[in-house]
Amino acid sequence: MSNLIVCDVAIKQDAEGRYCLNDLHKAAGANPNHKPAEWLRYSIAKDLIDELKVGNPTLSPIKAVTGRTGGTYVVKELVYAYAMWISPKFNLEVIRSYDRLATEGVAVHYKAVEDVLDDPLSYMEKVIAQAKQLKAERDRLSAENAVMSVQNAVMHAELNLLTVDEYRALTHRYFNHSYKIRLGQAAAKLMRAQGQQPAQQKRTVHTRNGEQEVRVNVYTRAVLEQAERELAV
């Protein structure tokens, strides 16, 4: 990931490419009145965030991060808006830094040119260290997302399994006890014909002795609908 440097300050990025407003605040002089939290109080900032959410619902335009590299991370459009709120001069500096980043892959502030030329190794070490940190963060998020995807898939599958009685309630109908037994048997037979066994889940049922937790057979809605069609023949 390319590195943005504004007024000698390296602007950190998160794994999704957002920029750290806290670093930009430091680059602008660290005036307490210009803290990101102060800017975010304004309705113009809130309105812009809302518009960005509508335009790209898959990526949050702003994210609060805790820990050693914590801060408020935002997309490029909010970087420009924040810089303009601080001052036109700082906004111009940010625009020029982005231009250098786009054309050269790294943005070096004009005041830092001598430092980079005198000690390029030290400068590159900082760039490499930041790149390693960003890669580690990206890998961590990627691993977390993979785990969440598996968990969501399992949860989705579980939520789409129904008992016969839940299927009856979902379709707003009345089944007598005999029909519920026959429907469950037909659904189980269909699943076995497909090389599967009916899944079981825990349910809480009401009895004369109070609530009890029992394990019951559950089926997909498609299997229950097919079982109903076969019973109707």
38 and 83 part of one domain: yes
**Average pLDDT value for residue range 159-169:** 83
Classify each residue of 162-181 as buried b or exposed e, where b means 16 or more C-beta atoms within 10 Å of its C-beta. bbbebbbeeeeeebeeeeee
Torsions phi, psi for 6 (to 5 deg): -125, 120
> At 157, is the pLDDT very low, low, confident or very high (cuts 50, 70, 90)?
very low
> At 130, is the pLDDT very low, low, confident or very high (cuts 50, 70, 90)?
low
What's the residue count for the chain?
233
10 and 104 part of one domain: yes
150 and 204 part of one domain: no
Domain region containing 211: 161-232
pLDDT of residue 104: 55
* CA dist., res. 115 & res. 102, Å (int): 22
Where among 156, 171, 194 does a domain terminate? 156
The secondary element (H helix, E strand) that includes residue 30 is none
Number of domains within the chain: 2
49 and 150 part of one domain: yes
CB atoms within 10 A of CB 106: 16
* CA dist., res. 127 & res. 122, Å (int): 9
Can you point out the beta strands (E) in the chain? 4-6, 9-11, 19-20, 62-65, 71-74, 161-162, 199-207, 210-220
Model confidence, pTM: 0.46
User: Would you say 202 and 214 are in contact if contact means Cβ atoms under 8 Å apart?
Assistant: yes
Classify each residue of 107-142 as buried b or exposed e, where b means 16 or more C-beta atoms within 10 Å of its C-beta. bbbeeeeeeeeeeeeebeeeeeebeeebeebbeeee
Among 2-6, 69-73, 114-118, 138-142, the range scoring the smallest mean pLDDT is 114-118
Where among 156, 180, 204 does a domain terminate? 156
166 or 1: whose pLDDT is higher?
166
165 and 151 part of one domain: no
7 or 62: whose pLDDT is higher?
62
Task: State the Cα angle at 230 between 225 and 233, rounded to 5°.
Answer: 130
**Average pLDDT value for residue range 211-231:** 89
Mean pLDDT score of the chain: 82
pLDDT of residue 61: 93
